[in-house]
């Protein structure tokens, strides 16, 4: 019997996760299927129950459901606890185990793109579950500064209190001149950009948008217009975190070198 997996989110139509996991399954000869399921936040708990009843064995969780997934899981890994958010659920016979592979996915993708984090000034825009998931893995790379800027400073301050080795501000009070700027908001899905000052980019800055699409995101375009030297979207992060999720579910680590999606 084919093992069932899926990704849940709202919106979900843009997700490339099914193609990625289909490629991983073919490469590693795993008998499994993977689909995308549109789930509004108020239907999340019932959607998980329905999927599990249908024989589902694991889920990926995307915006805006990651913090809700954290609350719903029975057990949590240390990565999920640090993040306060879950993007990967493993179904066990009598409990749900929540993990977070976003941070390692982002850091691995940046490394593969030759973007150094050590001793750099790094800015994360946004304080949602997407931001939470990447803070500790970035701190583990020993940046000079890791700053969180959010529309409401209160949310950024919550992360400051949790992680401490960071600084925090509202978007309007954000400092300037960062080497790496990471957009952890979903603004690009609406073809807009965060309301933040244009001086956040250092001369040779790298801009990274966690959102991805068929062409440059609105944040990428805005970053180039305002001084960023290079930009990337979040597709590489998606692939890297997917590989980690696949390993957690199947016990096999797929090779990314031959991935064609």
Residue positions annotated with a catalytic role:
66
Alpha-carbon span 220 to 217, nearest angstrom: 5
* Cα distance between residue 124 and residue 230, in whole Å: 16
Phi and psi, residue 95, nearest 5°: -160, 160
CA atoms within 13 A on the CB side of 238: 23
Q: Are strands 56-61 and 88-91 parallel, antiparallel or unpaired?
A: antiparallel
Start-end of H helices in 29-147: 44-53, 66-72, 78-83, 102-112, 129-139
Q: What phi and psi, each to the nearest 5 degrees, are found at residue 235?
A: -65, -40
205 Cβ contact list (under 8 Å, min separation 6): 178, 179, 180, 181, 223, 227, 228, 229
Pairing of strands 88-91, 96-99: antiparallel
121 DSSP β-pair partners? 145
């Amino acid at each position: 019997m084919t093992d069932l997996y899926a990704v849940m989110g709202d919106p979900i139509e843009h997700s490339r996760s099914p193609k990625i996991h289909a490629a991983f399954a073919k490469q590693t000869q795993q008998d499994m299927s993977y689909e995308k399921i549109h789930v509004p936040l108020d239907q999340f708990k019932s959607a998980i129950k329905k999927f599990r009843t249908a024989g589902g064995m694991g889920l990926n969780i995307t915006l805006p459901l990651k913090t809700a997934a954290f609350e719903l899981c029975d057990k949590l890994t240390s990565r999920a606890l640090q993040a306060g958010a879950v993007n990967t659920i493993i179904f066990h016979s009598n409990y749900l185990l929540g993990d977070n592979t976003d941070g390692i996915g982002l850091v691995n993708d940046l490394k593969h793109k030759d973007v150094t984090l050590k001793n750099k000034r790094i800015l994360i825009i946004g304080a949602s579950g997407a931001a939470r998931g990447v803070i500790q893995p970035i701190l583990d790379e020993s940046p000079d500064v890791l700053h969180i800027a959010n529309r409401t400073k209160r949310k950024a301050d919550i992360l400051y209190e949790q992680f401490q080795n960071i600084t925090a501000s509202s978007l309007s009070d954000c400092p300037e001149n960062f080497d790496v700027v990471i957009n952890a908001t979903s603004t690009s899905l609406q073809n807009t950009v965060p309301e933040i000052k244009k001086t956040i980019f250092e001369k040779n800055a790298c801009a990274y948008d966690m959102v991805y699409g068929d062409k440059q995101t609105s944040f990428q375009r805005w970053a180039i217009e305002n001084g960023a030297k290079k930009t990337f979207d979040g597709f590489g992060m998606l692939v890297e975190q997917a590989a980690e999720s696949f390993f957690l579910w199947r016990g096999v680590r797929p090779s990314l070198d031959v991935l064609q999606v």
